[in-house]
Every structure is written in C-alpha cells, then in structure tokens.
Structure 1
Amino acid sequence: MDRQQEFVLRTIEERDVRFVRMWFTDVVGSLKSVALAPAEVEDAFEEGLGFDGSSIDGLSRISESDMLLQPDPSTFQILPWRGEVEPTSRMFCDILTPEGQPSSADPRQVLKRQLGEASDMGFTCYTHPEIEFYLLESSELDANGRPRPIDTGGYFDHVPDGVGQDFRRASVTTLEALGISVEFSHHETGPGQNEIDLRYADALQTADNIMTFRTVIKEMAMQKGIHATFMPKPFSEHPGSGMHTHFSLFEGDSNAFFEAGREYQLSDVARSFIAGILHHAPEMTAITNQYVNSYKRLWGGGEAPSHRSWGHNNRSALLRVPLYKPGKGQSARVEYRGIDSAANPYLAYACLLGAGLKGIREGYELEEPTEDDVWNLSTAERRASGHVPLPGSLHEALRVMEESEFMAEILGEQVFNSFISNKKAEWEEYRQVVTPYELNKNLSIL
C-alpha cells in the first residue's frame, strides 16, 4: 500500500468519515457516484469495486458488463457542504476491465493516454479554465417560457446586496476547501451570468477539478434557493457560457511555448501546437460543443468564435495568444475559445492536446494571424481571409467527426462509437420537436 492510500485510510479513521463517494463520468461527462462504506475502501484500493458497466452510457456492452472502479487516492477530499456530522468524502476513479487493465471506454483514461503521449515527447501539459454559467431564480420558466436570471447585472458589475456576490464567495471558499485554487471570479456580460477562473494545474487535475466545480456550483446554488445552469445558450439575446481554456507545455521547468525575440514570443513548438489545433478544430467540435444548444452559442454572437482563426490578443479568434508581459516567459500560453461549459472536460482536453501534439510531431505550418474582428467580416471577406467555418449544427459536427481518422485514434473505437451514437440519438430527438418559434411564426398564417 502506498503513502497516499495510507493517508486516505488514516484520514477516514481520524475524521470519522462515514461515506466515501466514488466519482467517475460517462461518455458525455455526466458525473456518476457510488457511496462506499469506510471499511471497504482498503479492498477497493487493492482489488477495485465491481459494477455493471452496461448500465452506464458508453462503458460496455451487455455481454461485457462487469467493470471495476479503481479509486485514485490523490483525489481524496472531504466534501465541505455535507457538514462535520457524519462527514462525506470523495475520490475520482479510473475504470478497469475485470482483468485489472485500464478500460478503453473510460473518458479519464482517454485523457491519460494523451498525457502519456505528451510525456513521451518530453512535455507536461498545464491548463487554466475560465468557466461561465448562469444563475437563475429557479429551473422553472416564466409565463413567457423564458428563464429568470437572478439579476440584471453586466460585465464586472458590482450588484449591491446581490445574491451573486454571496454565491461566488461561498463557492470560492468551498472550492478552496477542496484544494481547488481559484484565480478570480466576477459577474459576466449576461444577466445572472457569472465566471470563476481556476488556477492552472496539470490537465488531468484540471478535468477532475471541473467535474468537482460543477458539483460545487450546483450545491451552492441549491443552498441559496436558486438554480445554476451550464447550458451553453439559455438566452437567445445574451451571450452563451463558454469555458475558454489556456494551454501551455513545459519541458521540465521551462515553458516550451516561449522563445524570446520571436514574433509574439512564440516558439516553433507553440506555433506547431496552434497549427495542430486549428487544423483539427472542425473534427473535434462535436466534442467541445456536444449539445444541440451548443451551436446557438457558437453561431449566436456574444464573443463565441465560429470560424477557424488565431490572433494575438484577438478575442474574436478561435485561438488567442494572450498579451505577453515582459519578464513573464514562464506564463506563455495559448487560449482555445471554442469550448463551452457543458463539454466533457476529459474528452475535450484529450482532443485539444492530441491535436496540438500531432501538430508538433508532424511539423504543421501555422497560417498568418488575423487582426480582423472576425465577427464583423462578411461571409465573402471571411472566405477570402481563409477563415473556415466550424460546423453549424450538432448534425454537421457529427458528420465531420465521423469521417475523422484523427478523432477515432484519439478517442479509441469504443468512446468514438459510443459518443456518436449518443449524440445522433439527441439530434434525432431534437429534429422531431415542434418548437415554440415554429408555432408562433407559422400557426396563424399558414
């Protein structure tokens, strides 16, 4: 038994932890959980915890239903909102086959594989997400069928006596109690819209942190009698919720993206990494934007990038190189702005990292940056500038993904097929629905 496992068992005993929740995700990133009695944790470390994988979307077929949950002791934390009486803890789990091998159907394992590829190339990947979400009075709609935001504030607004301020304070305090460092938090552009930025961490820890973050936000909202949603575009006239993520690669203690004296201080490694992401962006859009509603955000304006482009400090670009600060070479990074807050972070980060690494391995050439405001260009101007559009709907994104050898390789056959099957079912369900828009527009005149 290693030291981390011993620490977990000792903490469970000293804190009188009564429930140990084993967390993992299905193929679309929905959090799954099973509560383990403290006395069973040691066996779970040694042998794993058996469960029926066929009942979890994308994990296994009926004929291969037996799976094991292997808790990761490095992710052990006490859940603060459960209180000090009969405390509850959690650990993220890897999914194993009955033979004890990593399951190819585990989204966490998909990301681990790409981090292994990065390690083999001499890199460590760090990520820093900016997570947006809306706070609503409740999950119920108003008389006009619209969500009800908790306030009418805008970008960086200080709302006196606002529920949002108390909410953000409680959420940040809870996140930090869970060992998740927060860089800053503020009111975003839309009414009731908020953003909390997590401090950089390695990509696997960041993905785990995002899953914990979503749970904390939901729990804190319920405690205050409101509703939090990560729906990409709950309001047609207000910005959607993105999850802009900053990436950097390190070789030991040195930032591999930084090279003094080069344009934008970007090394060849950084330029090829950017080129790889841009080249494969359309193929992975179904992963970074996995819901029907995601495309209302991508194509609905409000700072969501819908065309393949990159630029220096250009917030209309799909991939942005933030402003360089003299003497801060270690902070060199690139920001991908196409991902929304409802993505499965394990699969999204695996695809983005995999695309960047492929760009480095194969020496992809980076196109010229754009200084244009891509949102305000005409279709002809975008075409002339080489700004290729991302898929315009989930249906189109799945078609592009389905034809991609790159995506099949990154995700593995089982995750690739399960994800496409899940999302095709969503699209089929959606396209049969008669929407209020159609009724309001056509019922009285046709």
Structure 2
Amino acid sequence: MKKPGFIERHHLWTAAQTELSEQIKTIVKEQNLLLIRTAWEDQHGIVRSKSLLPQAFLSALENGMQISTGTYLFDSGGALVFNPFVAGGSLEMPEMTGAPNLLAVPDPHTFRILPWAKRTGFILCDQYFQNGQAMPFSSRGILRRSLAELHQRGLEHIVGLEVEWYLAKLEDPMLAIAHVGFPGNPGEPPKVSAVEHSFQYLLESHNPAIHDLLGILAENLVEMALPLRSVENEGGIGQFEFTFEPIPALQAADTMMMFRMATKQICRQQGYLASFMCRPGLKGSSSNGWHLHQSLVDVATDENAFMSADSTTLMSDLGKHFVAGILKHANAASVFTTPTINGYKRFRPNSLAPDRAGWGLENRGAMIRVQGGFGDPSTHIENRVGEPAANPYLYMASQLISGLDGVDCRLDPGSPTEEPYTTENPTLPKSLIEAIAHLKQSELFPEKMGQQFINYIIKIKESEINRFLAAVADQAPEDYLKQVTDWEQREYFELF
C-alpha cells in the first residue's frame, strides 16, 4: 500500500483540491507541458517560483516542493534583513535557524496554463514547515485565517479590483555591467519612452497606438480565466486602468498576483515595460491607485449584508460598523495598503486620492466611497487608499480585520462628508515612517496577524526606510517626502 504523502498526512487539502489535482495530472500529460512554474508570494506581494519538470511537479502534488526560507529574509531592494545563521534565525523562531527548507504546497484551485509561455503551467502554493505547521509569515495564510473567522460569522468577502499601472516603450534595459546593482542597491532603472504624446483622459484617438498590445494583454488574461471587466486609458501618459469582476477575496488576491505577473511578462515580451509603482519618476506621470471594491454577503441567503433594508437608509448597520472599523484603523493599516515609501506621495489634497480617513457617498475624494446605497442590491464600499504595489493578501486581510473590529465594537463612522479634504477626520500618514509608528501602537493587528508577523514586517520595512534615508541624507525632508527620488525609481520602477 502506498504511503500517504506530506499533503495527505497533514490534511492540507480539501476533497475539492484533491479532485482537482487529479484533473491537473491529466492536463499536464495531455498538453505535453515541459515546465510548471510552481510559485508563491513573498512578503512584498511579489511572485517567486521554481520551474519543475512534469515528474517533479507530480511529486509536488503529493509531497509539496522544497523551497528555501531565503525569500523571507530580504527587503524590497534585496538587502539581507535577518541573519539565519544564529539561533532562531534572528527571528526568535527555532524553525528559521540555519535557513532551512519549507514545503510549498500547490493549491490546485490556482493552476493555469500560461498562454504566452510555450508548454508552461503555473500554480500558486501555500508554505509550511517540515512538521506540517503553517508558515506564520505567509501573507496568503494570513488572509486565509481572516476569511476563516469571517466564514464563522456566516459571511463571505466579495472583492472587485480596480488597478492603475503604467505602460512605457522599453528603449534600454540598462543591463551593461556598469549599470547592474547588488543586494540593497538596485541597478539603474530601464530607460523608456512614452506610448502617447500627452495627457488626454479616455481619449479614443490614442487607441490605435496601443490597441494591439492591450488586445494581446486582454486575450491572455481571459485565456487564463481571470475575470477581466474593462480596459481604459487613465490620467497619466501611458497610464491604464484594468478592472475585474467582483469575486471571493482569496480568488481576488490570487487574481491580482497573476494579473501583475502576466502584465509585466507579456509587455516585456513585446518590447514594453509595465510598472505598478505608485508614482513613477517619469514626466507626465500621475499616481497609480488600487481601489478595492468590497462587500460582505450572507452565505445562507446570498444577500448583500451592506445593503439597507429600506430606501431611506444609506447602508445596513453592519455596513456602517464595517466602514467605521476601516476608518479607525486606517493609519496602522497603511503599512499593508500602502507599503512603499513612494506610495505616500499620492496622498494629496484635491488629487482624487484621499489625504484623511473619511467616507462619503459617491465621493472620489473620500478614502471610503460608498456606491449604491439606499436599498440598492449592489451597495458596496470602495477603499481608495491602496497602491498597486501592495501585497494583495495583506491589503485584503487588513480590511477584514479592521472592518470586523468595527462590527464587534459597533463603531459609528459619523456622517458621510461632501468635502473630504477639509473635514476634521484624521489625516493619513505622510510617510511610511509615520505608518510604521502607527502599526507599532496597534493592538488589533498583532492580535489578528500574530505578534511574530508584525515584528517581522516592521523590521523588513525599517530596513527599506533606513536605506532610503541614507540615500537622501543630503536632501531636506520637505523635498524627499514630496518629490520622487532617484532612489525610488531604482527601487520600485522595474520590480513592481
């Protein structure tokens, strides 16, 4: 009798996942796949992967795939933050001593064939220690735990993605040895040119210049079964917005991971560069936002739990409490919604981005924009605070954690505002430094995400901050906190 593998032994899959894994084995054989990119998210929300040949991948569907803990040790610029060769790996975790291997367990729900890569499959994984315990720094795992708490309440988190990003023509990838970087010091950013001549919001006549590429992107995303809804030219030169249909939160977070990965790879194949950096250091660029559309659905009735029971009330009590929780914890949650130094340069008055924690009905200047309302079955909230470089799992988990605290404490969000930039609502952090200070004072996020993880993410972000401050030591804070610096362009432009 065949001995059970790691996945079966530790009961890591549902019956549905087990059934799907058998279908995947058939697809791998019938499609004659050569490589399967077996992937996982890192703390920054960036896809890391190993490419397995079919036989090794089939083994991973039973026993997981051995991966190093190494990807958890670095900040966004590749600087080593933790020394794994001391007791506890500098993390006070015996499991991290000596940079041991983890087991990356594929999630069959995420398997795709990559249309732009010949004979290549792709699948996302969850991370476990060798003893079958979940890796506490896995952001996908953190979202799973938040959703499990929500499901115990009989609710499901439904999320729609609205993502802005920049497209530029790649002129010089800057790969000469003199231009490449080293850990903690990324190389020269690629040189690019614009794909359109000037800013004209939603201009139809610009479409011929970029239609073919956008068509290639749309075709590939649809072929990957990602729920693409719309494509439009946005407010900057070469800026675009892609939106996706509302779907359950974990599926939405996985979609964001695959969307960013696919867009960057396909554009690069075509001689372009796609960047999800919040505010690129390019002439004519405005900030990229990632607006998160959210509602809660009653699992038993399939009804929208944010919808009011009558046409005279904006939202249900649960919906208003949920909004109040997000507003209350907005500053601490900024580490998850806006995790880069660059992202805080988006929070400007009268900029279509929020600068304080308030809410309003159909108001694009408010942090929380209510859409629908007054008995409308489509009632939902749009959080406009996020940047497209955010880790999608942590962004969504921070919303659930904050919102449910508002529900449990029956918090009141106050009255919706019509003047979001002049109200007395608390201002959002003006820098990642301020956001980290708020997270250090939070009791909620350590309770829900784990104190180990909060300590970990703070150290990761402080490494990023310290490298930034060293690079701008000769500049005044009023300059480097407002203008996009060369350091940011090196750090984020190509990576995100």
Distance 1:114 1:361 in 2: 14
Task: Tell whether the 8 Å contact from 2:349 to 2:355 is kept in structure 1 after alignment.
Answer: no
State the one-letter code of the partner of 1:312. Answer: L
Question: What is the CA-CA distance between 1:36 and the residue it aligns to?
Answer: 1.5
Equivalence map 1:13-412=2 (5 Å):
13-57=29-73, 61-63=96-98, 65-83=100-118, 87-138=119-170, 148-151=193-196, 152-160=198-206, 162-234=208-280, 235=282, 238-252=285-299, 253-261=302-310, 263=312, 265-299=314-348, 302-324=351-373, 328-329=376-377, 331-372=378-419, 374-375=420-421, 377=422, 382=423, 386-412=424-450
Task: Tell whether the 8 Å contact from 2:170 to 2:191 is kept in structure 1 after alignment.
Answer: no
Does the C-alpha gap of structure 1 residues 369 and 332 become closer, same or farther in structure 2, counting only changes over 3 Å? Answer: same
Distance 1:266 1:275 in 2: 12
**More deviation in 258-267 or 40-49?**
258-267
Does the C-alpha gap of structure 1 residues 266 and 343 become closer, same or farther in structure 2, counting only changes over 3 Å? Answer: same
Distance 1:27 1:412 in 2: 15
**More deviation in 105-114 or 63-72?**
63-72
Question: What is the CA-CA distance between 1:168 and the residue it aligns to?
Answer: 2.0
Distance 1:357 1:213 in 2: 28
Does the C-alpha gap of structure 1 residues 263 and 310 become closer, same or farther in structure 2, counting only changes over 3 Å? Answer: farther
SS at match of 1:186: strand
Does the C-alpha gap of structure 1 residues 414 and 168 become closer, same or farther in structure 2, counting only changes over 3 Å? Answer: farther
Partner of residue 25, structure 2: 9
**More deviation in 258-267 or 24-33?**
258-267
Question: What is the CA-CA distance between 1:80 and the residue it aligns to?
Answer: 0.4
SS at match of 2:154: coil
Question: What is the CA-CA distance between 1:219 and the residue it aligns to?
Answer: 1.7
Q: How many residues are matched?
A: 423
Task: Tell whether the 8 Å contact from 1:264 to 1:312 is kept in structure 2 after alignment.
Answer: no
Question: What is the CA-CA distance between 1:303 and the residue it aligns to?
Answer: 1.1
Task: Tell whether the 8 Å contact from 1:239 to 1:301 is kept in structure 2 after alignment.
Answer: no
Identity rate of aligned residues, in percent? 30
TM-score (normalised: structure 1):
0.89
Question: What is the CA-CA distance between 1:41 and the residue it aligns to?
Answer: 2.7
Structure 1: 4+ residue segments shifted above 6 A = 435-438
Task: Tell whether the 8 Å contact from 2:372 to 2:380 is kept in structure 1 after alignment.
Answer: no
Does the C-alpha gap of structure 1 residues 160 and 239 become closer, same or farther in structure 2, counting only changes over 3 Å? Answer: closer
SS at match of 1:130: strand
Does the C-alpha gap of structure 1 residues 65 and 176 become closer, same or farther in structure 2, counting only changes over 3 Å? Answer: same
SS at match of 1:255: coil
Distance 1:136 1:44 in 2: 38
Distance 1:300 1:324 in 2: 26
Task: Tell whether the 8 Å contact from 1:159 to 1:165 is kept in structure 2 after alignment.
Answer: no
Distance 1:411 1:193 in 2: 34
State the one-letter code of the partner of 1:399. Answer: A
Question: What is the CA-CA distance between 1:264 and the residue it aligns to?
Answer: 5.1
For structure 1, the 5+ residue unaligned runs are: 442-446
State the one-letter code of the partner of 1:158. Answer: E
Question: What is the CA-CA distance between 1:426 and the residue it aligns to?
Answer: 1.1
Task: Tell whether the 8 Å contact from 1:125 to 1:202 is kept in structure 2 after alignment.
Answer: yes
For structure 2, the 5+ residue unaligned runs are: 1-14, 75-90, 175-189, 480-496
TM-score (normalised: structure 2):
0.80
